[in-house]
Chain A
């Protein structure tokens, strides 16, 4: 199944008012950055305790 035009329009509408440029991509980038920091902290935690 592919996305319908209505579904894509509704999806795009969420990011349209954002203050962040390319918000439809940047939210995923932010999650990846946070995930990498959390994994790094978890590895540090394992080695420290």
Chain B
């Protein structure tokens, strides 16, 4: 076999691994909705929600409770990533990446700002002030932001076929959540802060992906993502939660009540799914590019519906089945792209 054929074979293997990681990301993201949903009814979060809602209203209560849940989620994600890095023998790499702040870790800390408080908080604001379906649809648009930014910032190529695939997956996602979206938007006056939350979610995750793509040029994803979550933990635990406590919300009293077996168990499984989802997302970027990685990652909407159907017994409506089919078609449009089109991910 000549050098050219070997190179082509190697490139094909890398691309298939890239799609595999993006698909793993979508599966873990989808199954995260199980612990991510049930944790809300467990103590102390259910009592926290009721207690804040009495004083500040449902929307504010949802966002403040979500901050505490997200902060604990970030903590358990760190535990999951420590396990991940340990199994892969990456502790040395982790230390080296952390020490190299200027060339490496600054990108991941920056990514934690966009992916943490901006995207996650935005998503919860959209959910609290408009509804869950609107928040989900808004978040589905993040590959558009990510691919455009990666194109203009460091010239990441996005072929017509990949753009078509991303577009079909987004339309599929919108169809999945579309029924709920129409109900939510027609239910009365929609506050502007809800739309702002939706914009924060789409822009936050899109910008995070583009920044991560830049950081991953000079470091590797397992260590980089762990630093991204170190940054997110600092933001929640050292900045946002103390700030909310200063504003009079009972953050610490409820945080101390989390150490209950069932709540901890659910949070740990949320951490495993979210942490592994994110690390797979980051692993896909250097192999297939930010746009494709985010596009396939968007299949989480379809996987969430499947897992919710299997485990919660919620039978999906026909619009959801149509949306799911569109998501699968969009993925095949991307999977079946010629390997030669992905040999170089960046333009000249």
Closest approach, in angstroms, between the C-beta of B25 and any C-beta of chain A?
10
Contact A17 B272 (CB under 8 A): no
Chain A 2-44: CB-based contact to B (< 8 A → 1; otherwise 0) = 1110111011001111111001001110110011001101110
In the complex, what residues of B have CB within 8 A of residue A17's CB? Answer: 312-314
| Interface size range of chain B in the complex | 35 or more
Number of A-B contacts (CB under 8 A): 90
Contact A34 B27 (CB under 8 A): yes
Interface of A: prevailing SS = helix
Interface of B: prevailing SS = helix
Closest approach, in angstroms, between the C-beta of A41 and any C-beta of chain B?
7
Most chain A beta-carbon neighbours within 10 Å: one of B37, B260, B265: B260
Inter-chain CA distance A42–B84, complex, in Å, is: 9
Partner of A10, one of B24, B46, B276: B46
Contact B260 A31 (CB under 8 A): no
B298-316 at interface with A (beta carbon < 8 Å): 307, 309-314
Contact A35 B38 (CB under 8 A): no
- Count the A residues whose beta carbon is within 8 Å of the partner chain — how many? 33
In the complex, what residues of A have CB within 8 A of residue B265's CB? Answer: 28
Closest to B258 in A: A1
Inter-chain CA distance A48–B20, complex, in Å, is: 15
B185 interfacial contact with A, CB 8 Å? no
Partner of B17, one of A26, A30, A45: A45
Q: Say whether, besides A1-B260, A11-B262, A43-B87, A38 and B24 are in contact (CB < 8 Å).
A: yes
- The 27 listed contacts between A and B (C-beta, < 8 Å) are A1-B43, A1-B260, A10-B46, A11-B41, A14-B41, A15-B312, A16-B313, A17-B312, A18-B312, A19-B313, A20-B311, A27-B34, A27-B307, A27-B311, A28-B265, A28-B269, A31-B269, A34-B28, A34-B31, A34-B276, A38-B280, A43-B87, A43-B88, A45-B17, A45-B283, A46-B88, A49-B14
Residues of chain A at the chain B interface (Cβ within 8 Å): 1-4, 6-8, 10-11, 14-20, 23, 26-28, 30-31, 34-35, 38-39, 41-43, 45-46, 48-49
Q: A15-B311, A31-B273, A43-B88 are in contact. List 16 more A-B contacts (CB 8 A).
A: A1-B260, A2-B260, A3-B42, A3-B43, A14-B37, A14-B312, A16-B313, A17-B312, A17-B314, A19-B313, A23-B311, A27-B311, A34-B27, A38-B276, A42-B87, A49-B17
Residues of chain B at the chain A interface (Cβ within 8 Å): 13-14, 17, 20, 24, 27-28, 31, 34-35, 37-38, 41-44, 46, 84, 87-89, 222, 257, 259-260, 262-263, 265, 269, 272-273, 276, 280, 283, 307, 309-314
Q: Top 5 closest A-B pairs, CB basis?
A: A17-B313, A10-B41, A1-B257, A18-B313, A27-B34
